[in-house]
Amino acid sequence: MVDVAAVDETFKRLQSHKGVLGIIVINADGIAIRTTFDNDLTVQYAALVSHFTVKARSAVKKLDGDNDLKFLRIRSKKHEIMIAPEFEKSHEYYLVVVQDPSKET
């Protein structure tokens, strides 16, 4: 059981970081259970990121069966999309943070 209050606090802290545009937690069904984006963007991220992550994981696992994907960073021209996936069946989720690293302090 996760301490939701602590998690929410961490969410706030992450959100307060410079350049962080939004945070999404996507469950195994591809449903966002926490988000700071608006609906459309959330849905887009949820759909695209989970597919991408599964692909990336399969790449990792095919290279080495014992290996697994733990973290994923996508550096794009504008953003950096960071994905921390968890593939354990009982609590599968994807934590997605989108950051604009070009924002200066």
Sites of contact with other proteins (CB under 8 A)? 1-4, 6-7, 10-11, 13-14, 17-20, 23, 25, 27, 29, 31-35, 39-40, 42-43, 46, 70-71, 73, 77, 80, 82, 84, 86, 88, 90-91, 93, 95, 97, 99, 101-102, 104-105
Going along 17-100, which residue ranges are E strands? 20-27, 32-35, 72-75, 80-86, 93-99
Residue with smaller CB distance to other proteins, 1 or 63: 1
Under 8 Å between Cβ of 34 and 11: yes
